[in-house]
């Protein structure tokens, strides 16, 4: 059995710091073999940078997934293109820097981590379902496959879950920063949760200072978002138990940790 931990969107400095200070304890307590974290909001002001990525790797993260903010910082493009520990949505156009999936060796087994973006309220990328089909064709020899589906709409995530059921080991959703309580093993053996949540400020609007989000909502005037960097913080995540021989999920558990 392989136990894989997936950590929700790491938001800003507080999110990074919280992961850095607590991830090793979580790994030990729950006997985690491999850690995935969505890092596309880990930089100050969102996006991802070399500094925030390497900070999360030093915290014990094995691979970082991305999303619609993956390419916010131009100076990061060369880094993501060369890195063997960072992936961005696979349904970006052909020739986009970086990779949409990566393979790793865990406990003498090969696993594949996949990142795909949804389309509803996000960029007009290629069809996520067709994208998944192409990746599965390329990785037929790998039993354990985990998908981070970075999408806004819950219906789109549910549809992807059933589309992938029986063909991947687990799918978790990211992007909405709100943890859902629908973790389950789908009928054909794929573990699923619509969104694993976020890491960052507890008293925030998706990691952003509440007063800023309220002002924008009330006045309808664009304003720069600032991540809340103090007060209680949290790590929201889920782990998946996978049979490395069959690739089927044996279990899924949703977790939330609050730190004062």
Number of independent structural domains in the chain? 1
- To the nearest 10°, report the CA torsion of 225, 50, 114, 96: 90
What is the pLDDT, as a whole number, of residue 177?
A: 95
Residue 69 is among the residues annotated as catalytic for this protein: yes
Which residue's structure tokens are 């790797």?
57
pLDDT of residue 246: 97
Q: What is the pLDDT of residue 228?
A: 65
Residue 195 is predicted with a pLDDT of 98
Query: Residue 179's domain spans which residues?
Result: 2-259
Q: pTM value? A: 0.94
Instruction: For the chain, give the number of residues.
Output: 260
**Spans in the chain with pLDDT lower than 70:** 45, 226, 228
pLDDT for the residue numbered 187: 98
Would you state the structure tokens that stand for residue 104, as one six-digit string? Answer: 């790793």
**Which residue is catalytic, options 69, 175, 177, 227?**
69
| pLDDT for position 209 | 81
d(CA 210, CA 225): 10
CA 201 and chain centroid, separation: 17
We report the CATH number of the domain holding residue 53 as 3.60.21.10
Token duo for residue 257 = 């940790």
DSSP-assigned states of every residue in the chain: -EEEEEE-EE-HHHHHHHHHHHHHHHHHHHT-SEEEEE-TT-STTSS--HHHHHHHHHHT--EEE--TTTTSSGGGHHHHHH-SSB---TTSPTT-SS-SEEEEEETTEEEEEEEEE--TTS---S-HHHHHHHHHHHTTT--EEEEEEE-S-HHHHHHHHHHHBTTBSEEEEESS----S--EE-TTS-EEES---EEEESSSBTTB-HHHHHHHHHH-------B--SS-EEEEEEEEEE-TTT--EEEEEEEEEEE-
Compute the mean pLDDT over every residue in the chain, rounded to the nearest whole number. 93
Residue 201 dihedral angles phi and psi, to the nearest 5°: -70, 135
């Amino acid at each position: 059995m392989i136990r894989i931990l997936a950590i929700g969107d790491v938001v800003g400095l507080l999110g990074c710091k919280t992961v850095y200070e607590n991830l090793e304890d979580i790994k030990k307590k729950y006997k985690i073999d491999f850690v995935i974290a969505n890092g596309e909001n880990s930089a100050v002001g969102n996006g991802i940078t070399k500094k925030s990525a390497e900070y999360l790797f030093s915290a014990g993260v094995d691979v970082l997934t991305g999303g619609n903010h993956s390419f916010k910082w131009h100076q990061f493009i060369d880094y993501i293109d060369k890195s063997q520990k960072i992936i961005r949505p696979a349904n970006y156009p052909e020739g986009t820097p970086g990779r949409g999936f990566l393979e790793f060796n865990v406990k003498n087994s090969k696993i594949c981590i996949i990142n795909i973006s949804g389309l509803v309220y996000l960029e007009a990328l290629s069809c996520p379902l067709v994208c998944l089909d192409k990746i599965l064709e390329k990785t037929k020899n790998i039993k354990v496959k985990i998908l981070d589906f970075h999408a806004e709409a819950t219906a789109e995530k549910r549809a992807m879950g059933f589309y992938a059921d029986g063909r991947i080991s687990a799918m978790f959703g990211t992007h909405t920063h709100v943890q859902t309580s629908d973790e389950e093993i789908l009928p054909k053996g794929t573990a699923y949760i619509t969104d694993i949540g976020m890491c960052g400020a507890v008293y925030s609007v998706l990691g952003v200072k509440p007063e800023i989000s309220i002002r924008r909502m009330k006045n309808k005037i664009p304003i720069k978002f600032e991540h809340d960097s103090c007060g209680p913080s949290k790590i929201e995540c889920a782990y998946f138990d996978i049979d490395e021989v069959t690739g089927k999920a044996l279990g899924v558990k949703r977790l939330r940790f609050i730190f004062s």
